[in-house]
Amino acid sequence: MMRQYELVERVTSYKPNANEALLNKAYVYAMKKHGEQVRANGDPYFSHPLEVAAILTDLHLDEETIAVALLHDTIEDTDATRDEIDAMFGDRIGRLVEGLTKLKRIDLVSKKAEQAENLRRLLLAVSNDIRVLMVKLADRLHNMRTLHHVKPHKRGRISQETMEIYAPLAGRIGMQDLRDELEELSFKYINPQAYQTVTEHLAELAELNRPHIRSIIKELTGKLEAEGINATVTSRQKKAWSVFRKMEAKALGFEQLSDIFGFRVIVKSVEECYRALGIIHTTWAMVPGKFKDFISTPKQNDYRSLHTTVIGPGKQRVELQVRTREMQDINEYGIAAHTLYKDRESADQNESQVYATLRRTIEQLAEGNNAEEFLEHTKLELFLDQVFSFTPKGRIIALPKGATPIDFAYAVHTDVGNTCIGCKINGSTMPVITELQNGDEVVIIRGKAQTPPAAWESVVKTGKARSSIRRATREAMRKQYSGLGTRILERAFASAKKTFDRDSLKVALPRLARDSLDDMLTDVGRGELSSLDVIRAVFPDHQEERTTVKPKREEGWFNLRAGANMLFRLPGRDNNSRQRLREFARESRGDAIPIRGTGNELPVKYAPEGGAIPGDRIVGILEPGVGITIYPIQSPALAAFDDKDRWLDVRWDIEEGNKTRFPARIKAIAINEPGSLAAIAEVIANNDGNIQNLSMIRSASDFMNMLFEIEVWDLNHLTRIIRQLSSKPMISKVERIIG
């Protein structure tokens, strides 16, 4: 175990003016607090925070960060408190240590929920100070290095979490060496057999290619020196996880891989980077499509380098990376290579691009509706490779691989995404679900009043787009339910001969246990609060008027007092005839709720098994959490709804020239002969009907029962189709089916 003075010497070796007193105090405090605690392997527990601190000294981090590393488990695993740490080390260190403390004794429904909530807390702390993440990554790295001491059933879960969350986070802040080691250690436990196989193959290949690698380094160094460039050329071998991932993704065998070895050229300046690239390309033929310039267009984690692949000595493909020493440090150590990673208060003016990008990402992720949604979005944002697209003005938009113009629109601005109705890619109109490629120029076409379709959520790749679509969908639904609740209450108040007044409703909110008028209206629209309860809350002395109709037993008629005072017929117990709603007690009032179709200002859907079409007499049934379901008046399914508060007086309000189709079902009994189905389909098509589904039942050797689900404009349209089908000689019978 590293001694106290050794830790101080490590820090002062790269920061001579470091606060040694702070390091000594943190060392002694943490050692005393952890006391006789031991790790799974029997070592003193204090050895763990000490090793975490040692990892961070290798990255040349400041003494405050090293102190936080020593203290990071004290609040979680000892009797230390935040107040005590604040008093001894200051509020800033206390805040960092608390940001690294997991939730304890909290009532969460699943391990995934616990993981998600802990990650949310961690990343929100990271958005205030990047050092929280750097300590956490060092903590996870040491835990992974000692994972063999953990019980076998825990290794897989910890490794999977490391692979999905912490390794990509290390990559996002540019700490590539740390990411590589986390991935290698995770791979070892997630798939031990594959890890062993790939590792053995790589060792054999390294031994076999050693002379060839030396000759390439010698020849390349000589070519550059001859042109006056003093470069350092080194070789590198891909890691086992990187090789295995490529083999899986592209279904390749080990012997088919041509880029296991690569070479890195380190020069003094950016100008020399491009000169060296020119020398390489004029000496050896470049492989088309394999050149990438990350100097002029850096990655989001500040990674900069020139990448190329050439046909080198021996006619073999050779991968090359050309960069400066400064780029190399940033590419390996990421944000740790920057000097500006202090707390946000001191870094807002000129923080590194990588931290600024990460902080914006976290702030976007935090817009998720719950912890598990946050976890899902985090994986989406961190785990995917990138493509770079451009706005018409040349602004670069970095997106995950597989992203669409919808993701692009939301990356520009949430309002742009919410109003997106189309796009142009490189000047051509394309579907908004088109996968973007590097270098695409994207123009978003916007509408004035557009709500993003909920189906977009399954198409997009970025967490921001997904959360924005969910939020916009929720807001649109809430607006629809609020509008429906308003209409229901207006009609209920009118029926009760009361004045509908919003101010009166606000006064009644406490009696209804609702925080706002919008909440109350939404709950009425959702069917979670009855209009009668609202009337009674506003007018406590209100007595509901009851009207009764003496039932005619011989006919089985009973009254249901609904929004429209409807009568329907109940079938006799020994009668299998359809239950039918006979008539409204009176004609629908002029103030009935207008129905224009789906996708408008009300949450409307149509009954299954046939639906309703304009021209039908219709009834609205309020279904909690769903909205209004529209039934034809003759639907037997209406007999199942005996709650009068759920019945709504509705009417069609279809404008002339409306282009909305409505679902209907027709049943045809046709002669079983060649061409029958084609003739039926031809009639429907010639009459501008649209077949959505078809099921066929062979009822006899010479007849077929066919059930068509079609879309039509209105009742006249459906009637015309049925009439023309009936005139066909191969049709025995055709009728509309209403469930």
What is the set of active-site residues?
76-77
Q: Which of 630, 674, 677 is nearest to 652 (CA)?
A: 630
Give the count of alpha carbons within 13 A of 708, CB side only. Answer: 26
- Three-class secondary structure of residue 403 per DSSP: coil
- The CA distance from 48 to 70, in Å, is 9
Contacts 24+ apart (CB under 8 A), 600-603: 601/479, 601/480, 601/483, 602/480, 602/483, 602/484, 602/487, 602/627, 602/628, 603/477, 603/480, 603/481, 603/484, 603/525, 603/627, 603/628
Do residues 399 and 436 lie in contact, with contact meaning Cβ atoms separated by under 8 Å?
Answer: yes
Residues pairing with 293 in the sheet? 306
Take residue 270 and report the two structure tokens written for it.
């950016």
Give the count of alpha carbons within 13 A of 174, CB side only. Answer: 29
- The CA distance from 303 to 294, in Å, is 7
- The CA distance from 1 to 48, in Å, is 9
Q: Which of 301, 92, 39 is nearest to 178 (CA)?
A: 301
Take residue 488 and report the two structure tokens written for it.
């229901």
Residues pairing with 238 in the sheet? none
Residues pairing with 619 in the sheet? 631
* Amino acid found at 496: A
Look-up of token digits 């649109």: 476
Alpha carbon 502 to chain centroid, angstroms: 38
Residue by residue, DSSP assigns 343-357 as -HHHHTTT--HHHHH
Take residue 673 and report the two structure tokens written for it.
């002969």
